[in-house]
Structure 1
Amino acid sequence: MSSPEIASLSWRHMKVKGCSSSYKAYKVCPGGSQQPADLEEVLQKGVETLVIGQGMSEAHLPQKSSCHPGPLYQTVKAITEYNNLVGQGAKVGGVFHSTC
């Protein structure tokens, strides 16, 4: 199962390729995307890398997780990193916020 690509991002609006809905925040992982509730579901999908966007102004902090997510990025940079990893075929998960 592959990770879905982020198709577009603007303030309060994110679109995932292949998903008819758009949201202001997404969690994405191999096999799908949806609005975020927590990180545990993403981690349970077997991701090798977790990319977290802190928001457009880097003000949003992710919920605590048993996993150290690695570096946190401003959302535009996070989506660039995520899509690069998707393009390489990596099992990547992500949690992104298009506000804050």
Structure 2
Amino acid sequence: MIQKIKSPQINSIKWGKISTGDGHEYKDAKLFPGGSREWDWNETGTHHRPGIQPADVEELLQHGAEVVVLSRGFHERLQTSRKTENYLKERNIPYHVLETEAAVQKYNQLREEQPAGALIHSTC
């Protein structure tokens, strides 16, 4: 049986701080099979509106994510652009758009079951 590479667990989340099982702390995080890194919105032009861009999730898929969790922030101010949802649908990638704490819970569950990716926003 081939063992797939797991994505790092999120150990804790609070306003402005995400702690991961691979020993990192981030304000906003990209998590994917085999690792994590800071999610820098400036790289893709992400803003609260129109929201998460296709380029934000592309890296997760390149690392082998087969399901994606997108967080909206603690006050659900971060949107997900329609282009991003279409991008995932066209590739038959299941995805979940949730409030941050619910997103962390869902991601931690999914990462145990299959290669998962997540974009976690730790503020608004």
Pair in the same fold by TM > 0.5: yes
Return the structure number with greater helix share.
2
Give the Cα–Cα distance (whole angstroms) in 2 for the partners of residues 77 and 2 of structure 1.
20
Q: Percent identity?
A: 35
CA-to-partner distance for each residue in 1:45-81, whole Å, 9 max, x for gaps? 1211000111011111246432246331000000000
SS at match of 1:67: helix
- Is 1:80 equivalent to 2:105 in the alignment? yes
SS at match of 2:79: coil
Question: Is there any run of 5+ residues in structure 2 with no aligned partner, and where?
Answer: 41-55
- Work out whether residues 6 and 112 of structure 2, in 8 Å CA contact, stay in contact via their aligned partners in 1: no
- Work out whether residues 22 and 35 of structure 2, in 8 Å CA contact, stay in contact via their aligned partners in 1: no
- Work out whether residues 8 and 20 of structure 2, in 8 Å CA contact, stay in contact via their aligned partners in 1: yes
Kindly report structure 1 stretches of 4+ aligned residues shifted beyond 4 Å.
Answer: none
1:36 CA displacement: 1.7
The two structures, once aligned, show a CA RMSD in angstroms of 1.6
Q: 1:59 to 1:24 in 2, by over 3 A?
A: same
- Is 1:94 equivalent to 2:112 in the alignment? no
Q: Which has the larger radius of gyration?
A: 2
Question: Is there any run of 5+ residues in structure 1 with no aligned partner, and where?
Answer: none
1:97 CA displacement: 0.4
Give the Cα–Cα distance (whole angstroms) in 1 for the partners of residues 96 and 108 of structure 2.
16
CA-to-partner distance for each residue in 1:2-32, whole Å, 9 max, x for gaps? 111001000001011122x311100000010
Partner AA of 2:36 in structure 1: S
